[in-house]
Structure 1
Amino acid sequence: MSLVFLIFIPILAALFIPLLFKRLGQIHTGWFVLLVPAALFLYYATRLPSVMEGGTYVSELSWIPSLDIAFVAYLDGLSLLFTLLITGIGALVVLYSIFYLDKHREQLHNFYVYLLIFMSAMLGVVQSDHLITLYLFWELTSISSFLLIAYWYTRDRSRFGALKSMMITVFGGLMMLGGFVLLSIMGGTYSIRELIAQAPELAQHDFFIWALVLVLLGAFTKSAQFPFYIWLPDAMEAPTPVSAYLHSATMVKAGIYLVARLTPVFALSEVWMWLVAGVGLFTMVWASFFALKQTDLKGILAFSTVSQLGLIMSLLGVAAAAYHVEGAADSYLKYAAFAAIFHLINHATFKGSLFMIAGIVDHETGTRDIRKLGGLMSLMPVSFTVALIGSLSMAGLPPFNGFLSKEMFLTAMLSLQEFNMFSMDVWWVLFPIIAWIGSVFTFIYSLYFVFHTFAGKHQPEQLPKKAHEAPIGMLISPVFLAALVVLIFFIPNLIGDWLVKPAVAAIQPFLYDSPQNVDIHVSAWHGFNTELFMTLGIFAIGGLMFWTLRKWQHLYDLYPDAISLNRLYDEMMLLSDGGANRFSRIYMTGFIRSYLVYMFSFMTFIVLLTLFLNEAFQIDFSNLAPIGVYEIVILLALVGATLTILGSKSRLTAIIALGAVGYSVALLFVIFRAPDLALTQLVIETISVALFLLAFYHLPQISRKEERMKFRFGNALVALGVGVTMTLVALSAHSQKAMPSISEFYKETVYKEAGGGNIVNVILVDYRGFDTLFEIAVLGIAGIGIITMIRLRLTKKEGQHENK
């Protein structure tokens, strides 16, 4: 089966959702939708044995051959891992949504259509080998996530969060597209695989750093890195199934995927290492610190997601250092890429379960405000157990999978000391120190989430609903994910061999020829080493700070909201909106003549500038026909009639002069031996004058003060510019014909091929048949509209007469 076709299966399934929503009756639409990600997950899982051995799958569908654009689906260890996360977590999210969303009160057809479109977009992102189609799917994730976040569109905050996420991620996507274009210029191809093969040559190109920075802007905005993270907390206004899906396994992981996929291209530059590792580590600390300021359960999880994404991003940056040192595959530095992928899997399991638990708490208590919650442990024991497992895994405690990847994270940061990669002995120390600080706050906010929700004093008077445990159907997905959290701790090497190593081999192809060569064994005990003492310090300091949280949490109030990044974004949006309104009021006068002035002025400027820059002013009168006395007389009459229109004091005079202009043109057609055109012109002018007279008869009389139009120098200048421009264009076009006139073709073929004797008629009926047909259709539609309005007016008058 074509991999390209598989990408579009969710979108194809979405076409049937509205129909099924109406016909399924009492059956929840989600049961049908569940089949799509579940079937895709099972199919892709069958590709694991081959990919585990280093095999790949490629499928191509031509799209725009002239531009070398095609849908190229490439499945290797990295793309298969993300594909399994997208489909596997997607199936659990759909199952969860079946019990979370009420089929009687929610517009489920909209929800599942958006969700399936998003699923296809994510599959396209992680499987595309073509940069342009990757960008296409990338922006489709932004659009579909906008629709999902704004699902409850009647809420102001939902619309605001959706717009904010799309503004930031689409901006990053456009920057990324610029980077992709530069890469294609440097490498002469859009294929990621071919660009990876040319990496050493690309690193020497002048555009290399520009492309690197632009690509990272796209990755950082999508994966919510500092300072672009501000969209993710506001995106929590989406329904919890959306939050669980977008922010644990899919959308925010797209930026992670992009950095991982393009690491072989950009890792030869130290700028890549500095930016990816530095921004990631700073994001981790920043977000983990401010997570404790949040009072909304999903807000805490949003900042924790930003923090965890920063952790993974920093590991990918450190993994890039392996390209610059000898023997990296045999050193502790090799743990960086492995830890990044391993923690990405772990994060999907424990964060997905925590988001679902936050939704359950909101669903069963009516609030997510942690200040109103507490004491739910005995009332919601299953939810508490799942939340405890997920939180302790996120905190890095054994026996949960987060402990293993957290230890490898510390190992990777400490490994930088072996190579002195920054040419300064002191700089490497900052990385493990910052990582340790971020881990301390991660430990605190993990405990903060679970114990402030389920432990402590129960406050039933603060809750909108009486708290109780969720139905079993809603608990299946989070319980399954929590079970994986524990299971992975005990079988980490099974996950490592089947999922992690193939992905690592794809990230570092210059180090590993095959996943079998990734020599890493995961274990929970490594003896008494630096990582162990750092972990003990995290538990001790983090536990103490959590115990005294209420005594120092008020320090967050000292941070002024006026200088926050959210406030900066809001002010920028308000400023741009206000500026746009003020500017639009200047030129949106409501008068057509003003808009014509703008259009004609711009047209004159652009055309004259183009003619001047291209030196296209070439006027040749040598092959023009002689001008006779009749033409001169008619032209003088035409000019006189035109001036009469401008200087007339009455509408009747202006209409008669306008008719004279048209009849003068008709006479020119007669002299130039074009009787068909002359006849057409005469008919049109006669009808136009008659219609003008009928219409103007019903207009109110104008006052004496308004009879004479005031002379405006600006309007006269624009009119003169348009006239001069069109004259110069006509003369220049006639004087330098790049190819023979098409009239010769008409002369040769009108009689022989079209079978007509009148060249004008044949052109209108045969050569321009469709154009003429559409013109007739437009006139027919306009006529029907006029007749309809007349009849409605007559009917209205008859009704009024009967009432009287």
Structure 2
Amino acid sequence: MSITFSIFIPFIAAIFVPFLYKRIHSRKIGWFVLLVPFLLFATLASFIPSIAKGETYTHTFRWIDSAGIHFTTYLDGLSLIFGLLITGVGSLVILYSIYYLSERESLGRFYVYLLMFMGAMLGVVFSDNLMVLYVFWELTSISSFLLIAFWYHRKKSRYGAQKSMLITVSGGFAMLAGFIMLHTMTGTYSVREIVVTIGEYSDEPLFLFAMLLVLLGAFTKSAQFPFHIWLPDAMEAPTPVSAYLHSATMVKAGIYLVARFTPIFGGQMIWFYIVSGVGIFTLFWGSFNAVKQTDLKALLAYSTISQLGLVMSLFGLGSTALNEGHSVNFVIYSQATFAALFHLINHSTFKGALFMVVGIVDHELGTRDVRRLGGLMSFMPVTFSIALIGSFSMAGLPPFNGFLSKEMFFEALVNARNLNLFEVSTLGTLFLIVAWLASVFTFVYSMIIVFQTFFGEFQPDRIEKPSKEAPFGMLIAPSILALLVVGIFFFPNVIGNYLLRPALEAIYPSVEGVERLIPQISAWHGFNAALMMTIGVVILGIILYRFMRYWKGIYTIAPLNWNLDAAFNANLILLEKVSHFFTRLYMKGYLKDYLVYIFTFFILAVGGAVLYTGSYSFDFSNDSPITTNEYLIVLAMTVAGISILFAKSRMTAIILNGVLGYSIAFFFVVFRAPDLALTQAVVETVTTALFLLCFYFLPEWKKERSPISTKLVNGLIAFSVGTIVTVLALTVQGNKMFESISVYFEDAYNLAGGKNIVNTILGDFRAFDTMLEVVVLFIAGIGVFTLIKLKVRKEEKDIEDQ
């Protein structure tokens, strides 16, 4: 199976889901959908041995040759990791959703959205062409919008979906501008080709702007400060969606973008400072705000923000290795990238398990509020075990995989400070302190999940549902993830050798022998600075957790209580008010006013430009003589046009307008263009018939009484527009700088095999444009058909009610 085809499999499956959903039991549809990610995961896993040996796979489907846009897929170590996460975690999420979602839900719609998102994410990580990558990038935003708003009857779900859409799509537009700048500099849309040649363009003025715009797209998608505000509100989605989108896939798209573009921009210190600086602050801000949350899902949302900041900061540190060649410093800095990739996988395992645990608690007890929970360990032992494993791994404790990658994170920061990576000497120490404090808060909120939820006194009077352990089927997926959390700790180098090292080679393609420069992952690495920091995190974390009620009041102190959500909402309200104010200025409700605006702008913009530049000039020397027939047709059109202004009935106005249209058809006959004449005659006939049909239902014509001043202004505008159009037409006609393009179309028979030049232009030369026009008409037709069906159903229902 080619990688290109694997991208489209989820989309193809999504097409069949609605038909199968109507014919089989609603819950069974999940088992059909489960086959899609499972087979894709098995297919991608088959590439692991060859990718580990350094092989890559490329497939190109040629698309738009003239623009250099082709559907090119590229599979290497980096894209393989993300592909396995998308399909592997996707399989577990769908298995979990089979038991989590009720049969009363619109499961067909849910799985269509989920498959769309899966296909879009695979398209993002496998695309080598920037434009194709962007299309899939925005498709992830659209499909995630649909998933977050799945329970659209809830106001918070609609708000969360809208918020995520606005922020991520806006970042996507910025990223698109950056991609266009890269193409402008390098002349190619291929990421691999840009990586090879980017050294020649690093001094270009557009280089810095392209870097900043690409980072803006990455930061909005991966919920980096200050764009992180969409992620907590997105938690209104069903728990399977949160476990999939907001722990393992969608938020990792921004991380993938930074990793993929590190070979392009990573050699610049500004890239290091922005990526690491934003990542470190996001790490702290997310962990600091997670502690004050009382909703378990909100707590996990802020913890996800924090963990994404950790990974982002590691990629920033690792990018400096591109300036070190094969030196010892390269080995040290590249370990930061290695740790980022490792924590990327670890986070998907323990955070996916924790989201599913919170979903189980909410599903079985009807609440996620930690103030109403406690003592759940007594009757939910399996759920408690999974929560314990996931939380302790997130806190960075052994024997769980989070401990290994967190230690590597500390080591990377210590090395960066000791090697004077930071141009400002105190900055390295500041980064280290902020990261350590963030880890302390991470430890605290991890303890909240375990001890405030599963220990203490059970409060049955504050629980909405009968207390019991989750069904076996709902426990399978989080149990598998929990086993991975423990298994990776004891066998980390299986992942390190077969997945992480090939991915590292993809990030440092210009450095040969990368795999030999990275040491083995070890659980015990001696009493070094990183271990001392971990011990300090545990000690201070325990103290802060035990005495949390005494210091939690700091969250009410400014500026620690800054609310970016309030600023976001206030800006939206302000934009609505401003737009409403300006809209009321020109939206008068009269078509004639709108025409005045349009024509006045045309006069000022076009007429002003012509006068200012003095570009008008006429040359009639090469014009053919005007015949008597042409004079007569022009006279008829002039009389008809002026007469319309004085028509006293709609029928007269329609007939005079038809005279204008048919006169143009006569012009085509005179100019020996029978095809155009026939087309014009048909269009004019249909238009006249439609006018007659529509005007039949309008009220009686009443002549409007307008002031003389209004008529004079309207006449002046009409005269000015006509004059400008005439001057432009004569200027263009008399100043031909190039050979007419009509010569090319006159060879339509040889180029396209069509004898009718009009049909050939529409069907061949303008085929793409014509196809889009047909699509627009098709969509409009579906809309009309839907409205008619709804009206018929309403009438039938009214008859039944009577």
- Normalised-by-shorter TM-score class: 0.7 to 0.9
Q: Which residue of 1 aligns with 2:792?
A: none
Q: Which residue of 1 aligns with 2:471?
A: 471
Instruction: Verify the 8 A CA contact 1:422 1:428 in the aligned structure 2.
Output: yes
Q: Which residue of 1 aligns with 2:114?
A: 115
CA distance in 1, matches of 2:697, 2:353: 76
After superposition, residues 166-177 of structure 1 pair within 5 angstroms as 166-177=165-176
Q: Which residue of 1 aligns with 2:619?
A: 620
Structure 2 residue matching 1:522: 3-state secondary structure: coil
Instruction: Verify the 8 A CA contact 1:655 1:693 in the aligned structure 2.
Output: no
Per-residue displacement from partner, 1:353-375 (whole Å, max 9, x unpaired)? Answer: 00000100110011111211111
Structure 2 residue matching 1:390: 3-state secondary structure: helix
TM-aligned CA distance change 1:615 to 1:443, over 3 Å: same
What displacement does 1:198 show? Answer: 2.2
1:602 is matched by which residue type in structure 2?
Answer: F
Q: Which residue of 2 aligns with 1:311?
A: 310
Q: Which moved more, 1:714-723 or 1:464-473?
A: 714-723
CA distance in 2, matches of 1:384, 1:667: 84
CA distance in 1, matches of 2:631, 2:532: 102
Structure 1 residue matching 2:74: 3-state secondary structure: strand
Per-residue displacement from partner, 1:165-191 (whole Å, max 9, x unpaired)? Answer: 111111111111111122222222222
Q: Which residue of 2 aligns with 1:798?
A: none
What displacement does 1:714 show? Answer: 3.6
CA distance in 2, matches of 1:299, 1:744: 63
After superposition, residues 473-512 of structure 1 pair within 5 angstroms as 473-512=473-512
CA distance in 1, matches of 2:694, 2:235: 62
1:386 pairs with 2:386: yes
Q: Which residue of 2 aligns with 1:593?
A: 592
What displacement does 1:733 show? Answer: 3.8
Structure 2 residue matching 1:74: 3-state secondary structure: strand
After superposition, residues 2-151 of structure 1 pair within 5 angstroms as 2-25=2-25, 27-103=27-103, 105-151=104-150
CA distance in 2, matches of 1:706, 1:626: 44
2:383 is matched by which residue type in structure 1?
Answer: S
TM-aligned CA distance change 1:431 to 1:584, over 3 Å: same
Q: Which moved more, 1:66-75 or 1:29-38?
A: 66-75
TM-aligned CA distance change 1:723 to 1:564, over 3 Å: same
Structure 1 residue matching 2:442: 3-state secondary structure: helix
Per-residue displacement from partner, 1:550-578 (whole Å, max 9, x unpaired)? Answer: 22223323357995211111111111122
What displacement does 1:715 show? Answer: 2.2
Q: Which residue of 1 aligns with 2:259?
A: 260
Per-residue displacement from partner, 1:15-59 (whole Å, max 9, x unpaired)? Answer: 110111111226521100111111111111111111111111111
What displacement does 1:325 show? Answer: 3.6
Instruction: Verify the 8 A CA contact 1:54 1:514 in the aligned structure 2.
Output: no
Q: Which residue of 2 aligns with 1:758?
A: none
Q: Which moved more, 1:727-736 or 1:175-184?
A: 727-736
Where structure 1 has 5 or more consecutive residues not aligned to the other structure, the ranges are 756-761, 790-804
Per-residue displacement from partner, 1:685-709 (whole Å, max 9, x unpaired)? Answer: 9x989x9899799955859x94876
After superposition, residues 773-788 of structure 1 pair within 5 angstroms as none
CA distance in 2, matches of 1:162, 1:588: 30
TM-aligned CA distance change 1:585 to 1:535, over 3 Å: same
Q: Which residue of 1 aligns with 2:734?
A: 735
2:723 is matched by which residue type in structure 1?
Answer: V
After superposition, residues 528-607 of structure 1 pair within 5 angstroms as 528-559=527-558, 563-607=562-606
CA distance in 1, matches of 2:697, 2:533: 93
What displacement does 1:234 show? Answer: 0.7
CA distance in 2, matches of 1:328, 1:671: 81
Q: Which moved more, 1:333-342 or 1:407-416?
A: 333-342
CA distance in 2, matches of 1:51, 1:765: 51
What displacement does 1:763 show? Answer: 8.9
CA distance in 1, matches of 2:697, 2:334: 89
Structure 2 residue matching 1:566: 3-state secondary structure: helix
Q: How many corresponding residue pairs?
A: 761
TM-aligned CA distance change 1:733 to 1:556, over 3 Å: same
Structure 1 residue matching 2:376: 3-state secondary structure: coil
Q: Which residue of 2 aligns with 1:227?
A: 226
Structure 2 residue matching 1:73: 3-state secondary structure: strand
1:522 is matched by which residue type in structure 2?
Answer: I
Q: Which moved more, 1:184-193 or 1:334-343?
A: 184-193
Q: Which residue of 1 aligns with 2:798?
A: none
CA distance in 1, matches of 2:4, 2:630: 67
CA distance in 1, matches of 2:196, 2:67: 22
What displacement does 1:530 show? Answer: 1.4
CA distance in 2, matches of 1:669, 1:521: 81
TM-aligned CA distance change 1:614 to 1:239, over 3 Å: farther
Q: Which moved more, 1:485-494 or 1:659-668?
A: 659-668
TM-aligned CA distance change 1:598 to 1:395, over 3 Å: same
CA distance in 2, matches of 1:144, 1:744: 43
- Overall identity of the aligned pairs, in %: 49
TM-aligned CA distance change 1:617 to 1:384, over 3 Å: same
Q: Which residue of 2 aligns with 1:422?
A: 422
1:181 pairs with 2:180: yes
Instruction: Verify the 8 A CA contact 2:654 2:688 in the aligned structure 1.
Output: no
TM-aligned CA distance change 1:671 to 1:169, over 3 Å: closer
Instruction: Verify the 8 A CA contact 2:641 2:660 in the aligned structure 1.
Output: no
Instruction: Verify the 8 A CA contact 1:21 1:29 in the aligned structure 2.
Output: yes
2:483 is matched by which residue type in structure 1?
Answer: A
1:553 is matched by which residue type in structure 2?
Answer: K
Per-residue displacement from partner, 1:339-392 (whole Å, max 9, x unpaired)? Answer: 111111110110000000010011001111121111111121111110011001
CA distance in 2, matches of 1:657, 1:43: 68
2:430 is matched by which residue type in structure 1?
Answer: L
Per-residue displacement from partner, 1:110-164 (whole Å, max 9, x unpaired)? Answer: 1111111111111111111211111111111111111111111111111111111
TM-aligned CA distance change 1:481 to 1:639, over 3 Å: closer
After superposition, residues 648-687 of structure 1 pair within 5 angstroms as 651=648
CA distance in 2, matches of 1:313, 1:745: 54
Q: Which moved more, 1:627-636 or 1:336-345?
A: 627-636
CA distance in 2, matches of 1:485, 1:669: 77
1:444 is matched by which residue type in structure 2?
Answer: V
Q: Which residue of 2 aligns with 1:434?
A: 434
Instruction: Verify the 8 A CA contact 1:332 1:411 in the aligned structure 2.
Output: no
Q: Which residue of 2 aligns with 1:525?
A: 524
1:170 is matched by which residue type in structure 2?
Answer: V
1:251 pairs with 2:250: yes
Per-residue displacement from partner, 1:662-716 (whole Å, max 9, x unpaired)? Answer: 87999999999969989x99x999x989x9899799955859x948766344423
What displacement does 1:323 show? Answer: 2.3
Instruction: Verify the 8 A CA contact 1:312 1:343 in the aligned structure 2.
Output: yes
TM-aligned CA distance change 1:111 to 1:663, over 3 Å: closer
What displacement does 1:656 show? Answer: 6.5
Structure 2 residue matching 1:467: 3-state secondary structure: coil
CA distance in 2, matches of 1:397, 1:89: 23
What displacement does 1:765 show? Answer: 10
Root-mean-square deviation over aligned CA pairs: 4.0
Instruction: Verify the 8 A CA contact 1:131 1:192 in the aligned structure 2.
Output: yes
